[in-house]
Amino acid sequence: MSERDLAVGELTPLVVDDFLADRRSRCRTAAVSRRWVGAVLRALHGQGVVPETEPVVATGRELLLEEFRRWLRAERGLAAESVRCYSGQAGKFLADVPDPLGDSLAALDAAAVTAFIVAQARSADSVWSAKAQITATRALLRFLHVQGLIPVSLTAAVPGVAGWRLAALPRGLSREQVQALLAAHDTTTAVGLRDHALLVMLARLGMRGAEAAALRLEDVDWRGGQIVVRGKGARVERLPLQAEVGAALAAYVTDARPSCDCTSVFVTVRAPFQPLTATAVRAIMGRTCRRAGMPRVGAHRLRHSLATDLLRAGAPLAEVGQVLRHRSQLSTAAYAKVDYDTLQTLAQPWPGSAR
């Protein structure tokens, strides 16, 4: 607008479309651009500076992905974080389909699906990343078939990836590393207080990043000393509000959290105030690792660290599963591999050795 010498009243949907088109021609962050442009427009409209604008025209792939997200929520009943993950992986598949999209989908065959999965598996960061792509692609193909966009169901054409349950060790952090992370925040600032409260909750309660991001103000029972957690599979559970967690939360809510209409506990520090997302939680963890002088690790490592510490303190696996809120004992069984002291009592002498 500055380059075109436009006044605020001249901010029209056409101007927004032109700007986004220019962004698409110069970078690959068109989706990010739409999100923050939308935030600016909502803020300006809320202040009465500009009239409410029409939504930015989306491409065919974006409209199809939005339909896919609605189908996942309504027909599959997936949580918001699962919908986000499925949508991101499905976007990779649709980006690989040439234009015109409708004709290419109608002509889609098993060979094209298999070739896409093989290419993605070769470039994946881990087995679990490849598995996530496979799961999302199968869901997308079911959706496309239900919608009549592909003539036959192609889910059987999606190959599997070799990966065995319980094959890997849980990768926790040492107590010293966890303490270094929690001490890395500048608690004299609003951002530091928020990030510290968030990571204390992850480290001491074993919450997932998406669960912490979804926490609402009414979920914290200060008098009863409990927190309501909205976990996987739409499960609602209660966790004890430990003293350290309560102190960190109270400091953030009373001294740093902005006064706004948002009901989420953790919100952005700049207007327009929005709830933090699971992606934002991962970014906060990455920044904290950098301040602590550690290699970047995921927020889920704090959950693994809590389970490992409980086992080493003598807690049985059943109690660890309760703390982590596992639905299956198989999920907790993986942590038995890191309980070295107990495993030593089961080890048999090597044949022919002195022991």
Query: What domains does the chain contain, in order, with CATH numbers?
Result: 60-157 (1.10.150.130), 175-340 (1.10.443.10)
Instruction: Tell me the percentage of the chain whose pLDDT exceeds 90.
Output: 41
Q: Is 204 a catalytic residue?
A: no
Q: Over the chain, what HEC string results?
A: CCCCCCCHHHCCHHHHHHHHHHHHHHCCCHHHHHHHHHHHHHHHHHCCCCCCCCCCCCCHHHHHHHHHHHHHHHHHCCCHHHHHHHHHHHHHHHHHCCCCHHHHHHCCCHHHHHHHHHHHHHHCCCHHHHHHHHHHHHHHHHHHHHCCCCCCCCHHHCCCCCCCCCCCCCCCCCHHHHHHHHCCCCCCCHHHHHHHHHHHHHHHHCCCHHHHHCCEHHHEECCCCEEEEECHHHCEEEEECCHHHHHHHHHHHHHCCCCCCCCECCECCCCCCCECCHHHHHHHHHHHHHHCCCCCCCCHHHHHHHHHHHHHCCCCHHHHHHHHCCCCHHHHHHHHHHCHHHHHCCCCCCCCCCC
Question: At residue 194, does pLDDT exceed 90?
Answer: yes
Highest mean pLDDT pick, 43-47, 121-125, 157-161: 157-161
Of 168, 85, 76, 171, whose CA–CA distance to 132 is shortest? Answer: 85
Task: Give the least confident one: 108-122, 146-160, 305-319.
Answer: 305-319
Query: pLDDT category, 189, cuts 50, 70, 90?
Result: very high
Cα dist from 324 to 116, 319, 335, whole Å? 36, 9, 11
**Residue 49, pLDDT score:** 77
Span 49-69, pLDDT tens digits: 776 655 444 567 888 898 999
Q: Is 303 a catalytic residue?
A: yes
Indicate which residue of 69, 196, 301, 326 is catalytic.
326
Indicate which residue of 34, 257, 303, 325 is catalytic.
303
Span 323-344, pLDDT tens digits: 888 887 777 877 777 666 666 7
Indicate which residue of 61, 232, 291, 312 is catalytic.
232
Cα dist from 325 to 5, 175, 203, 303, whole Å? 57, 22, 15, 11
Return d(Cα 239, Cα 302) in angstroms, integer.
Answer: 16
pTM value > 0.75: no
Q: Is 300 a catalytic residue?
A: yes
**Residue 285, pLDDT score:** 94
**Spatial contact of 200 and 245, defined as CB atoms under 8 Å apart:** yes
Query: pLDDT category, 353, cuts 50, 70, 90?
Result: low
**Residue 57, pLDDT score:** 45
Q: Is 232 a catalytic residue?
A: yes
**Spatial contact of 304 and 171, defined as CB atoms under 8 Å apart:** yes
Question: At residue 302, does pLDDT exceed 70?
Answer: yes
The stretch 171-191 carries a mean pLDDT of 91
Indicate which residue of 185, 204, 208, 301 is catalytic.
208
Highest mean pLDDT pick, 31-40, 75-84, 280-289: 280-289
